[in-house]
Amino acid sequence: MTFSSKIVRKDFPIFERTIREGKRLVYLDSGATSQKPLSVIEAESNFYKFNNAAVHRGAHQLAEEATDAYEGAREIVAQFLGSPGGADEIIFTKSATESLNLLAYAMSNAPVGNRFALTSADRIVVTEMEHHANLIPWQQLSARSGAELAWFKVTPESRLDLSNINEVITANTKVVSVTHQSNVLGTINPLDAIVARAHEVGAVVILDACQSAPHMKIDVKELGVDFLAFSGHKALGPTGIGVLWGHMNLLDELPPFLFGGSMIETVTMTSATWAPVPQKFEAGVPNMAQAVGLGAALNYLTNLGMDNVHNHETVLAGYILERMLEIPDIRIVGPTDTHMRGATVSFTIKDIHPHDIGQYLDSQGVAVRTGHHCAWPLAKCMNVPATTRASLYVYNDEDDCDALVAAILGAQKYFGRF
Amino acid sequence: MELDSLYQEVILDHYKHPQHKGLSPTFSAQVSHVNTSCGDEIILNIILEDDVITSLTWEGQGCSISQASVSMMTDLLTGKSLEESETIVKSFSELMASKGTSAGDPEILEDAVVFAGVSKFPGRVKCSLLGWMAFKDASIQAQAQ
């Protein structure tokens, strides 16, 4: 099927409404959260209407149906990521933030002798372009364990500086956690050298795929990483559902983080043993309707074809960059070509604060995000207090890019009159 | 246009020509505040003499609303007693919580009543209050000296 964002758009009820007194909604904030197609909204609400029951528990038909729907969603996620160990390697969390915290806290629980037990003799590696969700959990693990935190720097060209890879990923490195695509710069990070070096020293590689899994074909075997996290709501799915994938042998060795119902094998008054993966990491009644909604979202994306999605966004990125570079006094904070780059474009305009740009854009129906985008150290490194960010997705087209450019020019005129 | 109630001329004028910007070399207290959601920052110096605010100076970066608000606040509060400043801060806070339903008291707030327009934009109320929250903090610290 040929990809058409005009047709895709018809599947998203939100585009039937207007913004700020009848203006067309130009939604350019998918990096924060994506809009939802009707099939996802219906999958979530149909679960509540027809199948709602606590999974893995009740002795009744509804519980069976709910369990089938929930485990069916796990199967869809496994297919989507190319999980070599199938659905058992997929853990549902409430968010990608929780997935990453789960890893960091589970490592804290690792006893001496476990490969995940960190001490002051060890090192954790991140990058300077991490979202706070893939920085602070590791800062805190570093503080708890005494392990040293080190990071790859970002070049003025908005790329990871891997020139000193052997000095950053040292022989004592146990964990390397990196973002696949920067939520600010749009930069897609090359992983081959990082994965090779990390594995050479026996470290595990964790990939924050929040900004990549919704936008490109992901195959965890090809990427070579050991763990991967992404969130449902940025991938056309509901909020309240995130994914953690990991290799089974590693998930087996990793201790649990949250304790309670569903994650146990046996319990006495003084001790407990754990259920097999993935249940070991899913304490409590999970976000079932949201998992089912995520399954519908990934099916929707798969039907579009992830290669089509990626091609569409690469073409759009090229178009929007070209048009934006025509704007006087603009600075693109990120790569200005489409090589290894997604359709997320952050920018500043001379003499107009990003928040004021965002406000004017909103008055024209153009929805963007402003601020440091939960990546404060990166903003400091790029020497900008804040940026305005346009992030595009399957339902955006050239008209949306044109609307953004027109609105930025309008803002320059509006604020320039004083 | 609705946007014009937010970006009134007096606000943009203070943004372009900020008052009392540049920190005094001495101070009774110095505070630093940030707006965590957008990264706006302000450092505020206060000099208190016999319960009168004799100097309020600041440095910072941020959007037009946060910067104009600090600028106007320092104009308004310099030379006032602590007691007077409390009345003004209270009146401004109430105005910003009014969601566009209050016009503000020009007797108390003078030019700062233009922020009535800003109170209609929930996303910008925090911007307006950044400097005022810093002032509250600074005046408490200065009194504790």
Tell me which chain B residue has its CA closest to the CA of residue A362. B3
Q: How far does the CA of residue A19 sit from the closest CA of chain B (Å)?
A: 13
Q: Is the pLDDT of residue B1 over 80?
A: no
What single letter denotes the amino acid at residue A94? K
Set of chain A residues whose Cβ sits within 8 Å of the Cβ of B3: 359-360, 363, 414
Structural domains of chain A, count: 2
Q: Is the pLDDT of residue A368 over 80?
A: yes
Tell me which chain A residue has its CA closest to the CA of residue B35. A371
Contact residues, B window 102-141, toward A, CB-based 8 Å cutoff: 121, 123-124, 127
Nearest to B39 among A356, A359, A371 (CB): A371
Q: Residues A298, A310: one domain?
A: no
Q: Is the pLDDT of residue B98 over 90?
A: yes
Per-residue pLDDT band at A298 (split at 50, 70, 90) = very high
**DSSP H or E segment with residue A148:** strand A148-152
Residue B22's CATH number: 3.90.1010.10
Q: Residues A339, A193: one domain?
A: no
Among A302, A330, A365, the domain-final residue is A302
Please report the DSSP string for A51-78 in residue order: I-S-TTT-SSHHHHHHHHHHHHHHHHHH
Is pTM beyond 0.90 here?
yes
Set of chain B residues whose Cβ sits within 8 Å of the Cβ of A415: 7, 12, 64
Do the Cβ atoms of A418 and B9 come within 8 Å? yes
Q: Residues A367, A350: one domain?
A: yes
Do the Cβ atoms of B64 and A363 come within 8 Å? no
A35 belongs to a structural domain = no
Q: Residues A153, A51: one domain?
A: yes
Q: Read off the pLDDT of residues A69-80 as tens digits, 9 standing for 90 and up.
A: 999 999 999 999
Q: Read off the pLDDT of residues A299-332 as tens digits, 9 standing for 90 and up.
A: 999 999 999 999 999 999 999 999 999 999 999 9
- Domain residues for the domain of A94 are 41-302
Do the Cβ atoms of B2 and A418 come within 8 Å? no
Q: Residues A338, A266: one domain?
A: no
* Cα A200 to Cα A252, A337, A338, distances in angstroms: 22, 32, 31
Mean pLDDT of A332-359: 96
Give the percent of chain A with pLDDT over 90: 96
Residue A341's CATH number: 3.90.1150.10
Nearest to A372 among B3, B13, B39 (CB): B39
Chain A touched by B41 (CB under 8 Å): yes
Per-residue pLDDT band at A1 (split at 50, 70, 90) = low
Tell me which chain B residue has its CA closest to the CA of residue A359. B3
Q: Residues A294, A316: one domain?
A: no
**Is there a catalytic annotation at residue A381?**
no
Do the Cβ atoms of B62 and A355 come within 8 Å? yes
Size of interface A-B (CB pairs under 8 A): 52
Q: Residues A100, A21: one domain?
A: no
φ and ψ at A31, to 5 degrees? Answer: -65, -25
Do the Cβ atoms of B41 and A385 come within 8 Å? yes
Q: CA angle at residue A412 from A407 to A414, to 5 degrees?
A: 85
Q: Please give the pLDDT value at position A92.
A: 98
Tell me which chain A residue has its CA closest to the CA of residue B2. A363
* Cα A361 to Cα A212, A328, A367, B64, B116, distances in angstroms: 26, 17, 7, 15, 21
Bridge partner list, A149: A124
Q: Residues A313, A395: one domain?
A: yes
Nearest to B30 by CA among B112, B141, B143, B145: B141
Set of chain A residues whose Cβ sits within 8 Å of the Cβ of B124: 355, 359
Set of chain A residues whose Cβ sits within 8 Å of the Cβ of B7: 356, 414-415
Mean pLDDT of B3-9: 91
- Domain residues for the domain of B14 are 3-144
Interface test with A, best of B14, B64, B125 (most A CBs within 10 A): B64
Q: Residues A213, A324: one domain?
A: no
Among A254, A277, A302, the domain-final residue is A302
Mean pLDDT of A82-102: 98
User: Which parts of A232-317 are beta strand (E)?
Assistant: 242-246, 264-267, 272-274
Chain A touched by B39 (CB under 8 Å): yes
Give the Cα separation of B2 and A274 in Å (integer). Answer: 59
* Cα A109 to Cα A10, A144, A204, A276, distances in angstroms: 48, 11, 17, 17
ipTM over 0.95: no
Residue A147's CATH number: 3.40.640.10
Q: Residues A223, A316: one domain?
A: no
Give the Cα separation of A211 and B104 in Å (integer). Answer: 45
Set of chain A residues whose Cβ sits within 8 Å of the Cβ of B10: none
Set of chain A residues whose Cβ sits within 8 Å of the Cβ of B62: 353, 355, 385
Q: Residues A271, A125: one domain?
A: yes
Q: Residues A19, A90: one domain?
A: no
Mean pLDDT of A226-236: 98
Q: Is the pLDDT of residue A292 over 90?
A: yes
Among A249, A281, A302, the domain-final residue is A302
Do the Cβ atoms of A355 and B63 come within 8 Å? yes
* DSSP-based three-state secondary structure for A245: strand
A70 belongs to a structural domain = yes
Per-residue pLDDT band at A235 (split at 50, 70, 90) = very high
Structural domains of chain B, count: 1
Q: Please give the pLDDT value at position A418.
A: 60
A262 belongs to a structural domain = yes
Give the Cα separation of A367 and A253 in Å (integer). Answer: 44
φ and ψ at A261, to 5 degrees? Answer: -65, 155
